[in-house]
Amino acid sequence: MTAAPTTSAQPAGTAVAEAARRRTFAVISHPDAGKSTLTEALALHARVIGQAGAVHGKAGRRGTVSDWMDMEKARGISITSAALQFEYRDAVVNLLDTPGHADFSEDTYRVLTAVDAAVMLVDAAKGLEAQTMKLFAVCKHRGIPIVTVINKWDRPGKDALELMDEITERTGLTPTPLTWPVGIAGDFRGVLDRRDGSFRRFTRTAGGATIAPEELLSAEQAAEREGDVWRQAEEEGELLEATGAEHDQESFLGGVTTPVLFASAVSNFGVGALLDVLVDLAPPPVGRPDADGAVRGLDEPFSAFVFKVQSGMDAAHRDRLAYIRICSGVFERGMVVTHGRTRRPFATKYAQQVFGRERESVDLAYPGDVVGLVNANALGVGDSLYADRPVTFPPLTTFAPEHFAVVRSRETAKHKQFRKGIEQLDSEGVVQVLRSERRGDGSPVLAVVGPMQFEVATHRMEHEFNAPVALDRLPYTIAMRTDEASLPLIASSGGVEVVQRTDGELLALFPDKWALRMLQQRHTALTLEPLVAAQLA
């Protein structure tokens, strides 16, 4: 007999009260702006780790908690998204670190569907870079409030007022600095706290491994200690006040303004202030719209959606972890819920809280929390889970691939491992797997947004699945959705290939836009549609 989905025994009001304590946010930025370093520093300030793991580029240091994959440690970049949960003050923080590299935009986009706020990290020397702007566009589209952190102020960089102008011009947001730097970029003395006029003076620590001592001084003491640099900070603060750059909570939540903080994550300067701002200003979870636009309230029965699937985190067990964002109700480990896509019961016996690669069992979780379900082989990215009243949340966007390669096993005796690995990477969304009768099951086509995804796929095939592979790049750059009726004409066109995605979609692959345009002009009745309705702008 099939077990019926179970309802939480917790009162509905518990979900609402606990949700009010949650702050779920992501850190977004261009590569090398210091995202993983900031993530580590936040965990350090919350006192959930005793020592910051690593500053990339420093020899002899440990890897950051959030960067656990071998390739991440070797390259000093984040390749996968990571979830960290910890308590700070009276709040429960769910912090999602995201890949910064443009090749992993799809993974970042999925993470942004699971958060209620974002920290936009800006390199003081480089300002708003391309990938930062792409991710900002996603946040704006989704109505996610943004806190801006100007990072690396301990190094030479742009003028602070110049950076405020750049934020205004390029994002349309009005920056409302909560702290203002004392000392130019590269000469970071501390910050003027514009909320009370005090001076928060910082002292360096060796390598930024521990929390930097912070000395609180009055304006008079600061003027005596710092002289002209303090007076300049005060003058610039008065200029900001004259232009109306003051924090307003309603404008922040409405996506009109962005609070700004100045920091040096590598030295742990200004990180504690960011944690306090997130707890005080970032919004808690609210009811979430379903696929039809109806809002499922926080106090309704349990519901959640899968925004990421990851394997290979535990080499000893080769398990598979599905990350879910809880949207309503109370999650209790062991409860049986319904898998929205299949309408079949799903048992949640193995549920874990995540702290980078480290995990421990979680018995209860609430709206806003991120929970990892272990060995959830039936779950895929975008799937909904619920108890009692059915709900389907909006599907997650699949990006149009631009790079294609045939993948083959280097060792014919390892066909089983090869097939298992390819299926796993496909289900996680690391790559899209395309097949055709022409190539056969042993030589599928991998389709990706950026070429670094190929490196991740080949690395994981060899080291996780013990199935070394060879890749042969294909000359295609465009994939279009098509149908059975259009197949004969497309297949007869030179330089075009038709393949089938795992979800059943038929795709036509073209070498460039001119080949696509010529075929459309010759055969106007063909079905050739773009793969996605929404891209990162």
Q: Is 376 helix (H, G, I), strand (E, B) or coil?
A: coil
What is the length of the chain?
537
**Sign of dihedral through CA atoms 463, 467, 468, 469?**
negative
Contacts of 196 (CB under 8 A, 6+ apart): none
Residue 306 CA to chain centroid, in angstroms?
13
CA geometry: angle at 125 spanning 123 and 130, to 5°?
Answer: 55
Rounded Cα–Cα distance for residues 500 and 482 (Å): 10
Q: Is 11 helix (H, G, I), strand (E, B) or coil?
A: coil
Question: Helices 160-171 & 228-242, crossing angle to 10 degrees?
Answer: 30
Known binding residue 451? Answer is no
Q: DSSP secondary structure string, 15-34?
A: HHHHHTTEEEEEEE-STTSS
What residue spans of 259-391 are helical by DSSP H?
Answer: 271-281
Known binding residue 203? Answer is no
Known binding residue 259? Answer is no
Q: DSSP secondary structure string, 447-469?
A: EESSTHHHHHHHHHHHHTSS--E
Known binding residue 99? Answer is yes
- Is residue 122 within 8 Å of 252, Cβ to Cβ? no
Contacts of 444 (CB under 8 A, 6+ apart): 406, 407, 422, 433, 434, 435
Backbone angles phi, psi at 309, to 5 degrees: -125, 135
CA geometry: angle at 167 spanning 135 and 141, to 5°?
Answer: 35
Closest C-alpha among 476, 467, 474, 450 to residue 409: 467
Long-range contacts of 245-250 (CB under 8 A, 24+ apart): 245/164, 245/174, 245/175, 245/176, 245/177, 246/176, 247/176, 247/178, 247/281, 248/176, 249/281
Map 65-120 to HEC letters.
Answer: CCCCCHHHHHHCCCCCCEEEEEEECCEEEEEEECCCCHHHHHHHHHHHCCCCEEEE
Burial 438-476 (b: 16+ CB within 10 A, else e): eeeeeebbbbbbbebbbbbbbebbeebbebebeeeebeb
Known binding residue 6? Answer is no
Burial 152-178 (b: 16+ CB within 10 A, else e): bbbeebbebeebbeebeeebebbbbbb
Contacts of 441 (CB under 8 A, 6+ apart): 419, 435
Show binding-site residues for GTP.
97-101
Show binding-site residues.
97-101
